[in-house]
Amino acid sequence: MSEGSAAAFGILLVDDEPAWLRSMSLALERSAGLRHVVTCQDPRKVMEILAGDDIAVVLLDLTMPHLSGEDLLPRITTEHPDVAVIVVSGLNQVETAVRCMRLGAFDYHVKTEEEDRLIAGVLRALRMQELQRENVEVATRLLSGELRHPEAFEGIVTQDSTMRTLFAYVEAVARSPQPLLVTGESGVGKELVARAAHRLSGCAGKLVAVNVAGLDDAVFADTLFGHVRGAFTGADQPRRGMVEEAENGTLFLDEIGDLSIPSQVKLLRFLQEGEFFPLGADRPRKVRARVIAATHQDLAAKEQAGAFRRDLYYRLRTHRVRVPPLRERKDDIPLLLEHFLEEAARSLGKKRPTPPRQLAQLLQTHDFPGNVRELRAMVFDAVSLHKDRVLSMDAFLEAIGRAGEPPPGEAASDRNPFAGAERLPTFDEALELLVREAMTRAGGNQTLAARLIGISQPALSKRLKAYRR
């Protein structure tokens, strides 16, 4: 459980033995970091406490004066069905345990059991409560479609409905201590989504970003977990790792799909236990940090191929979002164009140029394999070359042309649209097909279509009139 989760979920201990209440309160705080613990010696006050405090789990003794736990149990489960009740008895009786489970108890433990088993049971109950609340929150946000904190996403320029749904989901799971997996092609803005999730998380710590691509096992361990003095040759001073830097905050691991199997094992231990070993250390350290991972790779396919651990994959994808590529939200291109024009002019110290009316249409004909990052680079390049009041389209046409070129060394016949055709079209037929395709891509705009195929607008207009005869 994270610090935020521990604060959000209250635990009520009900027992007439003060010594047990004290020892269990200390054990929950010491072993599990659970500090929101309420104790009650009088079972007659339990319903009043539940009505006034945010209690998620009740540890209920069965044998108490005035009101037995077995009589109190059905009242709690009926009036507070969202509260998990763990029965704690001094007797190991199967019949009593079965009866309590039928009355709605979440679990049954004997006081003489090892303390760790009872604490593990409390953590299981808290995890269930956490998932239930998250499911309700996600369903509510997605159905309403409203954002409570739209300012968290101000760095993402969009009017796309899919992106709005993504925002609602991120807002709903932002406070969860469980990992969030952000997938999508390179350049779609995965780190912006991670930053928005951190901003909404309420975490007191900072967001620490680490790109794990290309890190071998030793470098990964040192980067994430640090080292103690003398851990290896040259380690004259201890070094804090990124995990400790992100304490009580968010650790953003970019390109998680490139992580080696040995490094995956180390990361899995941290996710499961909340602890790690700095290089050269013989004792583990505990740190609470929410993990957000991002990748452009298909982790499911890598897991099937044995290149990514199944247990880590399912651990990371507790919450997951896919950021759609720019070609799936082309209505955002005019907005992004205006945004990047402002940003480029400000960054380059120039007056914002006026884009031609056909520019947005031209850009919408391009698939943008580099996504938003590619569009931004195009705009910055064009603005850096800009001299007149109206922005020239030449830089964009050149960039789009280069993007459509085949890789170096590819044979010309491989990219010839007529290669392998059973019958070659005549010159006039081929030209008509080219003109009609240009008009389709330009959305019927003759000026833009003429630019796409490198002829003048009057020449294109003359061709179109001839085709209508």
pTM greater than 0.75: no
- The closest of 233, 243, 296 to 266, measured between CA atoms, is 243
Q: 145-324: which CATH topology? A: Rossmann fold (3.40.50)
Query: Which residues in the chain are classed under CATH 1.10.8.60?
Result: 331-406
Query: Which residues in the chain are classed under CATH 3.40.50.300?
Result: 145-324
Query: Which residues in the chain are classed under CATH 1.10.10?
Result: 425-469
What's the CATH number for 425-469?
1.10.10
Residue 407 pLDDT more than 90?
no
Find tokens 């433990």 and name the residue.
109
Q: Which of 128-142, 335-349, 366-380 has the lowest mean pLDDT?
A: 128-142
- Residue 288 has a pLDDT of 87
- Residue 454 has a pLDDT of 80
Q: Which residues of 307-344 are buried (b: 16+ CB within 10 A; e: fewer)?
A: ebbeebbebbbbbebebbbbeebbebbbebbebbbebb
For the chain, the helix, strand and coil percentages under 3-state DSSP, each to the nearest 5? 50, 15, 35
Which CATH homologous superfamily contains domain 3-131? Answer: Response regulator (3.40.50.2300)
Which tens digit of pLDDT belongs to each residue from 19-37? 999 999 998 888 877 888 9
Which tens digit of pLDDT belongs to each residue from 251-282? 999 999 999 999 999 999 899 888 898 998 88
Instruction: Assess contact for 452 and 366: CB atoms under 8 A.
Output: no
Burial tier of 465 (Cβ tally within 10 Å: 0-12, 13-18, 19+):
exposed
Query: Which residues in the chain are classed under CATH 3.40.50.2300?
Result: 3-131
What's the CATH number for 331-406?
1.10.8.60
- The closest of 173, 178, 171 to 196, measured between CA atoms, is 171
Q: What are the backbone dihedrals phi and psi of residue 95, each rounded to the nearest 5 degrees, phi first? A: -60, -40
Determine the average pLDDT of the residues in 349-356. 91
Q: Which residues of 98-110 are buried (b: 16+ CB within 10 A; e: fewer)?
A: eebeebebbbbbe
- The closest of 468, 436, 461 to 447, measured between CA atoms, is 461
Residue 395: which residues within 8 A CB-CB, separation 6 or more? 378, 381, 382, 385
Half-sphere exposure of 332 (CA within 13 A, CB side): 24
The pair of three-digit structure tokens given for residue 356, joined into one six-digit string:
């031609």
Which tens digit of pLDDT belongs to each residue from 78-125? 999 889 999 998 877 888 889 899 989 999 998 877 888 888 889 888
Instruction: Assess contact for 101 and 92: CB atoms under 8 A.
Output: no
